Amino acid sequence: MPIPATNAGYLLADKVVFLTGGTEGIGFECAQAYQRAGARLCIVSNDRLSIDRARTVLNPEATDFVLADVADSGEIKHAIEHCLRVFGQIDVIHNNAGISSPSKALHDTSEPEWKTLFEVNVGGIYHTTLHGIESLKKTRGTILNTGSLVGEIGQEIHAAYTATKGAVNALTKSMALDYAPLGIRVNAVAPAGVLTPLLRSWSQQQPNPEEVEAYLNQIHALGYCPEGDVIADACLFLISDMARFITGCILPVSGGAELGYKKLLAPQALEAKV
């Protein structure tokens, strides 16, 4: 939906959101939700094709794109500076960019795979904060991190990924304490299963991919695996003034999956891999 000429009264009226990984999956759903709420967007992605696709949907008058890798400090510094040149301020940094591969036990994970996961999923948050904190001080803005339920409860055959998401949870709480005196709120969302390209890639790496769809529905107490729009709605709330007294929160947006988490693999399947 195009943003009207004046967005007064909209939830994110006059806000500028710096959004990483905002061209597909949860991030793209967030981009659309934020734009409908009146925000201007600076979207960072390392995938030129997905940027081109996003351009066809998002309002060009209120959206700018930067091709950059969140794991590269210099590229993110440039992206922050570009956002400030275009929009003049940053009110929200949403650290959504992330990767999930490989789906392996720890001893099967190579050193490059381990390092890459941490450089993207945790290092990306460091880089946007390092280069964006001065702007957030001026606006008394907010930071939102996209975490995962598995960062709290673990997940079989996904050790390195779950380690990064556990780090995101702890980092979110520490950042909330550090930046509260500056009026900057820091929160995270923790989805369980969400039908995104990342999840579909993970599904194909499982020993029994043909059973994964049913599994993904069953793990949620509400009975289905959602699309990314349900996560975007929660993110919109957390970055808006409606959540003005919430900080350090890891918000499960999980359909109750944490209330009775079900294993994907039978124990003998994991033993066979080990």
So which residues are the catalytic ones? 161
Q: Of 175, 188, 193, give the one whose Cα is nearest residue 249.
A: 188
| DSSP assignment letter at 228 | T
Q: Which residues contact 10 (CB under 8 A, 6 or more apart)?
A: 3, 37, 38
Q: How many CB atoms lie within 10 A of CB 177?
A: 11
The label of the residue with tokens 């934020």 reads 34
> Hey, is 143 helix, strand or coil?
strand
What gap in Å lies between CA 261 and CA 176, rounded to an integer? 28
Q: How many CB atoms lie within 10 A of CB 230?
A: 17
| DSSP assignment letter at 107 | G
Q: Which amino acid is at 251?
A: L
What gap in Å lies between CA 103 and CA 212, rounded to an integer? 14
Q: Which residues contact 17 (CB under 8 A, 6 or more apart)?
A: 34, 39, 40, 41, 42, 90, 91, 92, 93, 94, 239
- Is the CB of residue 235 less than 8 Å from the CB of residue 189? yes
